[in-house]
Amino acid sequence: MTDAQLFAGKVAIVTGAGRGIGRSHALLLARHGASVIVNDLGSGITGSGSTSAPADTVVEEIRDAGGIAIADVTDIADWDGTKALVDLAIAQFGRLDIVVNNAGITQYESIETETAASWNRVLAVNLTGTAALMHWAVSHWAAEGPAPHRAIINTSSPAGTNPPPGATSYCVSKAGVAALTIATAAEIAHLGVRVNAMAPMARSRMTDAVPMLDDIMKRPASGFDRMSPDNVTRLMLYLASPSCRFTGRVFGIDGDDIYLFEGMSAETHLSNGGKEWDHQALKQALEEIDQQDQAFMIAPNLHARMGAPRREALDALDVVNRGGVAPKSWKAITS
């Protein structure tokens, strides 16, 4: 089988496929033989508005290149409504093999300035939308029975694996996607479904909205483009393919660098020898532990530019504990 036939006869749903990374996913899956449902509500990065134009444009690109695709504008934040995406795949193509949960929005708010409306919308699209499409896809596969080479690829974020300040709901939603991926892997393996997640660092509408990322995200005059969405799509293609051996894993992707995260690992273990801890014992045992572990960070330059919030938070606490007035320990990332 040639690369061009890698997904011949397969059917894929890609959400948020009208622009950016999702568009790249849809185009490459179609180029490798898959029939693709291009889902995109056509909203802005904060979830406002709706238009079919982005999805229609990508479908036209796929068809012009000889591929097969149809457009869809289902709002994946609607749990019951998301069933329509799976129904569409079955009605149009008779099957479903691959789900790529890519759709996402953000709000640049701290926990102090967050509103219920913005919080609920971000979680609804990024986390609930991912879970809803997984639910309906898995329900369909369960009714059909086990089959080989089914795949779900979810989209987390470096903001979910190493959360920075200033976009709280987005960080929480993307951390939830990673946990959702890990939690469901064992549940659906018996159906022949692999589920993995990517935490991509690449150029998108969201990164375009953050001026401090301009230098990191700019296209090079020549040579390898580290921030091209196509780098993420090449990993997605592997995760969707029969070649992939993994399930329940979270892959960081930053240019040509790929990282495998190890869940929420515990770096330190303390034991009290089978006795109850009391306050003094806990104080003594924890006295020598660093105040804040520094886990490995994907895209370290990004976190450095955000002012190392872990250190800033500790410094601010020290000032307040001494009776002083501390500055806010984060800077708005859109400034």
Q: What amino acid is encoded at 88 in this protein?
A: L
Which of 24, 35, 157, 169 is catalytic? The answer is 157
Rg (CA), the chain: 22
Q: Exposed e or buried b for every residue in 57-76, given b needs 16+ CB within 10 A?
A: bbbebbeeeebebbbbbbbb
- Out of 10, 108, 118, 170, pick the active-site residue: 170
Catalytic residue among 10, 83, 118, 174: 174
Per the annotation, the verdict on 328 as an active-site residue is: no
| Cβ-based neighbours of 223, under 8 Å, separated by 6 or more | none
Query: Is residue 170 among the annotated active site residues?
Result: yes
- Cα–Cα distance measured from residue 108 to residue 122, given in angstroms and rounded to the nearest whole number: 11
Which residues are tagged catalytic?
Answer: 157, 170, 174
